[in-house]
C-alpha cells in the first residue's frame, strides 16, 4: 500500500515535470479534499458520476466509495495521460476509465450508452487550461437537469484573474452555486466550488464553438449567497 502510494506519487511528480500546465499540481489531492468533493451527493440507482482528470486516483477513492454505496450507480473517469490511466485501471479494476480529453465527455458517455450524469467532479487544473470556458460549458450541457459540477480552487489561486473567470463561468452556467469551507489539511488548502444545473431542460445554454482565453478582469467577482444542497457554505472571498 505504502509502496503503491510512493510509486503513484513519484509518477505524478514526473508527469508534473513533463507537463506542468495540464497536470497542474506537484502532489495528488489529500483524502479530506476527496471527502469534501463528494459530501452531500445522494445517488440513486442508475445515476452516473463522471470524474475529470483522475491522475493516479486520489479523488477517485472517495468517488468510488460513493458510487459503490449505491447499487446500480455508474462511474466514468476521464484522464488524458496513458501512464495515469494504467495505474487507475490497476487500482480500480471495477471502474471504467477513458484515456481521453474531457472535452469529449458527451461522446464518451454516448459510446457507453450512459445517461447524462448526476454529478461531474473535476480534478483538472481548470484555471491553467486555455479550454476552461469550453470545458465548463460542455460540462453544464452534459449534466442531467439538476446535476452538479464540482471542482476545487487552491487558496493561492483564488485572487488570480483566471480564478475570477472560473467563478464568473459558474455564475453564467449554473442555476445555483456554493462553496465549501476551506479544506485546510490539503496541500495546498483548497475550497470546493459547486454549480447546480437548472432542473428545467428549457434553461439549457449554448456551448461556445471555440475555446476562448480572453482575460476579463472587469467582472464583478463578489461572492454570492446562493447555496446548493449538501455542503456547508463559506464566503472564501471574505478571507482575503
- Strands (DSSP E) contained in 137-220 are 148-154, 176-179, 190-196
Binding test (CB under 6 A) with ligand SAM, winner from 36, 63, 64, 81 = 81
Give phi and psi for 122, each to the nearest 5.
Answer: -115, 130
Nearest to 28 by CA among 138, 190, 137: 190
Q: Is 28 in the site for ligand SAM (CB under 6 A)?
A: yes
Q: What is d(CA 80, CA 98) in angstroms, rounded to the nearest whole number?
A: 8
First to last CA, the chain: 39
Q: How far is the CB of 59 from ligand SAM (least distance, A)?
A: 5
Binding test (CB under 6 A) with ligand SAM, winner from 77, 123, 178, 236 = 123
Retrieve residue 122's grid coordinates: 473535476
Retrieve residue 100's grid coordinates: 481521453
Nearest to 24 by CA among 120, 185, 194, 156: 156
- Tell me whether residue 31 or residue 171 sits nearer to ligand SAM (CB atom): 31
**Site string (93-112) toward ligand SAM, x via CB under 6 A:** --------xx----------
Binding test (CB under 6 A) with ligand SAM, winner from 8, 11, 24, 109 = 24
Binding test (CB under 6 A) with ligand SAM, winner from 50, 59, 105, 228 = 59
Q: How far is the CB of 172 from ligand SAM (least distance, A)?
A: 20
Interface of this chain with ligand SAM, residues 170 to 209, rule: CB under 6 A: none
Positions that interact with ligand SAM (CB under 6 A): 22-25, 28-29, 53-55, 58-59, 78-81, 84, 101-102, 123-125
Amino acid at each position: 500500500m505504502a509502496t503503491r502510494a510512493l510509486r503513484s506519487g513519484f509518477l505524478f511528480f514526473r508527469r508534473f515535470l513533463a507537463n506542468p500546465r495540464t497536470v497542474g499540481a506537484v502532489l495528488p489531492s489529500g483524502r479530506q479534499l476527496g471527502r469534501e468533493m463528494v459530501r452531500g451527493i445522494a445517488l440513486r440507482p442508475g445515476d452516473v458520476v463522471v470524474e475529470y482528470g483522475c491522475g493516479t486516483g486520489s479523488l477517485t477513492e472517495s468517488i468510488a466509495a460513493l458510487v459503490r454505496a449505491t447499487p446500480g450507480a455508474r462511474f466514468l473517469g476521464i484522464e488524458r495521460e496513458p501512464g495515469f490511466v494504467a495505474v487507475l485501471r490497476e487500482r480500480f479494476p471495477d471502474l471504467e476509465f477513458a484515456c481521453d480529453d474531457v472535452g469529449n465527455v458527451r461522446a464518451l458517455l454516448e459510446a457507453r450508452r450512459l445517461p447524462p450524469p448526476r454529478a461531474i467532479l473535476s480534478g483538472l487544473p481548470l484555471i491553467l487550461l486555455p479550454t476552461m470556458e469550453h470545458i465548463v460549458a460542455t460540462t453544464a450541457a452534459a449534466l442531467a437537469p439538476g446535476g452538479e459540477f464540482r471542482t476545487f480552487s487552491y487558496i493561492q489561486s483564488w485572487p488570480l484573474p483566471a480564478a475570477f473567470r472560473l467563478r464568473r463561468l459558474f455564475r453564467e452556467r449554473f442555476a445555483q452555486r456554493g462553496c465549501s469551507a476551506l479544506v485546510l489539511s490539503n496541500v495546498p488548502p483548497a475550497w470546493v466550488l459547486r454549480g447546480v444545473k437548472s432542473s428545467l431542460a428549457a434553461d439549457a445554454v449554448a456551448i461556445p464553438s471555440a475555446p476562448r482565453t480572453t482575460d476579463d478582469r472587469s467582472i464583478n467577482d463578489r461572492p454570492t449567497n446562493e447555496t446548493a444542497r449538501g455542503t456547508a457554505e463559506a464566503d472564501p472571498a471574505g478571507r482575503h
